[in-house]
Amino acid sequence: MDVIWFHDQSDLVHQYRYEKDYLKQQHLDYQGRTEFLRQNISRGNVALRLHHVRPSDEGKYRCYFARSTYNREAEFQVDVASTGSSPHLHIEGAGNKRVRVVCTSAGWYPEPEVHWRNQTEESLSQGTTISRKENGLFSVETSITVSADSKEIVSCVIENPLLSQKLEASVSLAGEFIVLGPQQPIIALVDRDVTFPCHLSPQLDAQHMDVIWFHDQSGLVHQYKYEKDYLKYQHLDYQERTEFLHENISRGNVALLLHRVRHSDEGKYRCYFASSTYNDEAEFQVYVASTGSTPHLQIEGAGNKRVRVVCTSAGWYPEPEVHWRNQTEESLSQGTTISRKENGLFSVETSINVSADSKEIVSCVIENPLLSQKLEASVSLAGLADPVIESCTARTGTFIRNPDSFAGLRMTKS
């Protein structure tokens, strides 16, 4: 059959003919934007996919099927919609001890509904201009004029009537706000990324504010000023490691993404906002953590018919907890050295001395107290001429072998 889609009675959107796409008479507006989906055409089931929808695509469409002796069509309506950009607020002087609060936004379709309200939900008188741009979408500029000594919080609300979606931005005319940061300490993992969120209450537009993160030891971590990143005074430790996330800044909601966490990033941070008339900050704690390498076991002679079982591991933060136990879960006396390396992470060397004819299975357990994560390695002391590594429970699930201590170690899972 011929299968054709028409727009508003006349424009040919797409045609299938002679068992293939036939686009000789396709309207210019649709060239390169249509895709005929015919996987189920043998059952009379097809569809047209339209790419990169435009406002001009709105209207009535007809889907038309024709064979040599008969034809039929169906008509349907297409409505086009777009929710615009987050409202942008700024305040201007208006003379006579009054100020003008201006709200702008772009990219709406169809024409949006606009209103202002205060914190008691009362509607406020406004002046609004809605204009249609060359791309067919609507832009909004709306404003209210209020007393310069007003203490109200006013909100600009723009709504898409078709989608029932609205965007809102608020500003305190008293110029006061509270900065809210993370309510619980943040645990950041070494060499990973971490996010520090902060927001304003009430929900205010912070695009024209200064926003700064400080670290109690290193100083200025990141600054946003003049509506862009301003890194002139950024501390060397944070250069090339910070990213300011400001997609929702018009609602006073921002975050700082810190890349490649280091142990030195631990400490107290402050998130600071400053407008032309007011400032506030929030403080929060960041802890840094790292779980080290899988424990490595080896057995050495210790004299007097005794052997020394040595356990080593590296890459821990903060300082780990270390203990030995046997198969009955009894703790064993140990000698442990924990040292801090140049990279700031901790290394462990711990050992126990036992009788050479012991038949016990002993386990070295190293735990990160901040993450409550532990790594464990075990060895059977039975038959030291041919010792067996009975089990190794670790993050990687691997079994540990030390070819330098004994030849031909046999590995078996417990």
Model pLDDT for residues 329-342, shown as the tens digit of each residue: 888 888 999 999 99
- Rounded CA-CA distance 145/49 in Å is 47
pLDDT tens-digit series, residues 252-310 = 999 999 999 999 999 999 999 998 888 999 999 999 999 999 999 999 987 888 999 99
For the stretch 129-166, pLDDT in tens is 999 999 999 999 999 999 888 888 899 999 999 999 99
377 contact partners, CB below 8 Å, separation of at least 6: 294, 295, 296, 297, 311, 363, 364, 392, 393, 394, 400
Residue 384: the pLDDT is 59
Q: What share of the chain is helix, strand, coil (3-state, %, to 5)?
A: 5, 55, 40
Confidence of residue 383 (pLDDT cuts 50, 70, 90): low
Q: pLDDT exceeding 90 applies to what percent of the chain?
A: 72
Give me the half-sphere count of Cα atoms (radius 13 Å) on the Cβ side of residue 291. 18
Q: What is the mean pLDDT of residues 232-240?
A: 96
> Which of 303, 369, 314 has its CA nearest to residue 338?
314
Matching residue, tokens 């052997």: 307
Q: Which two structure tokens, joined as six digits, stand for 376?
A: 């464990």
Please report the pLDDT score of residue 398 as a whole number.
Answer: 34
Nearest to 101 by CA among 166, 137, 150, 165: 150
Beta-bridge partner residues of 3 = 16, 65
The model's confidence at residue 9, banded by pLDDT at 50, 70 and 90, is: low
Is 80 exceeded by the pLDDT of residue 385? no
Q: Which residue has the tokens 């080593």?
A: 312
| pLDDT of 369 above 80 | yes
pLDDT tens by residue, 193-218: 999 999 998 888 899 999 999 999 87
Mean pLDDT of the chain, nearest integer: 89
pLDDT category at 111 given cuts 50, 70, 90 is very high
Mean pLDDT, residues 96-107:
90
Can you read off the two tokens belonging to residue 232? 């002139």
Instruction: Please report, as a single letter, which amino acid is at residue 61.
Output: Y
Per-residue pLDDT at 387: 45
Measured torsion, CA atoms of residues 232, 233, 236, 242, in degrees rounded to the nearest 10: -70
Evaluate if pTM is beyond 0.85: no
pLDDT at 328: 87
Kindly report the length of the chain.
Answer: 414
- Of residues 265 and 177, more confidently modeled: 265
